[in-house]
Amino acid sequence: MLKFVNESLILPIMKKLLLTALTFSLLIACGKKEKETEEYNPAADPSATETKAADPSSYDPKRGEGKFTNVELGATLDQAMAGKGEEVAAVKCTSCHKSTDEKLVGPGWKGVTERRRPEWIMNFITNPDPMIDKDPEVQAQLEICLVRMPNQGLSDDDARHILEYMRKIDGVK
C-alpha cells in the first residue's frame, strides 16, 4: 500500500510534525504559570535580617559573637574530648578543612588555637553567620576561600570537642 506514496516525501513531513510538536510542548512547558506561592520578602523575614541587623561596631573581635564569653581550657589536653572532636570533625568539617595550615575549601586548622581565643572559636563554630558578616578578618578570609562557612548546627558539646581536637592539632599535650 505504501508503495504508491513517494518515500522521499514522508521523512520531511514527519520531521516538520515532530518539530511542531516539540515547539508546542516547549511553549506550554515554559509558559507563565499562575502564581503558586507568595514572593519571598527578606524584610518580612526576621531570620534573614537577624545577622545583619546588629551594629557591627558592637562586635568584639576577641570573642566573636555568640553565647560563649568564657571558655575554660585545661592546662593539658583532654584526650577523650579531643577524640570525640576528631570524630565530629571527620563528619562535619574535614570536607572543607585540613588539620594542617593548608587551605582546602576553608582555611587549615593548624595554629588556629594560637591565633584565636577559645571563646571566638566556639562562637564561630556554633554561630558563623553573624561573625562572617561583622569580623573583618573573617571577611578577608572569605575573599580568599570564596565560600561562606555553613552553620553545621553543632551542639555546644560538639563545638567544645572540636576545640579540644584543634588544640591537639596545635600540639597541646
pLDDT digits (tens, 9 = 90+) for 41-83: 444 444 333 433 445 567 888 899 999 999 999 999 999 999 9
How far is Cα 127 from Cα 132, in angstroms, rounded to an integer? 9
Decide if 127 is inside a domain: yes
How far is Cα 56 from Cα 136, in angstroms, rounded to an integer? 10
Decide if 129 is inside a domain: yes
Cα separations (Å) of 67 from 122, 124, 126, 133?
A: 9, 10, 9, 17
Decide if 162 is inside a domain: yes
Decide if 57 is inside a domain: no
Decide if 50 is inside a domain: no
User: Computed from CA positions of residues 166, 125, 93, 96, in that sequence, does the dihedral angle turn out positive or negative?
Assistant: negative
- CATH number of the domain that residue 151 is part of: 1.10.760.10
Which alpha helices (H) appear in the chain, and where do they start and end? 7-30, 46-53, 79-92, 112-115, 118-126, 128-134, 136-145, 156-169
Which three cell numbers mark 14?
514527519
Q: pLDDT tens digits, residue range 83-139?
A: 999 999 999 999 999 999 999 999 999 999 999 999 999 999 999 999 999 999 999
pLDDT at 68: 95
The reported pTM is: 0.67
How far is Cα 24 from Cα 146, in angstroms, rounded to an integer? 42
Decide if 161 is inside a domain: yes
Upper half-sphere CA count for residue 36 (Cβ side, 13 Å): 2
Closest CA to 164 of 87, 53, 105, 95: 87
Domain count, the chain: 1
Domain that holds residue 117: 98-173
How far is Cα 151 from Cα 142, in angstroms, rounded to an integer? 15
Decide if 30 is inside a domain: no
CB-based contacts of 7, cutoff 8 Å, min separation 6: none
Decide if 85 is inside a domain: no
Contact between 98 and 169 under an 8 Å Cβ cutoff? The reply is no
Q: pLDDT tens digits, residue range 9-48?
A: 666 776 776 666 655 554 454 444 443 334 434 444 443 3
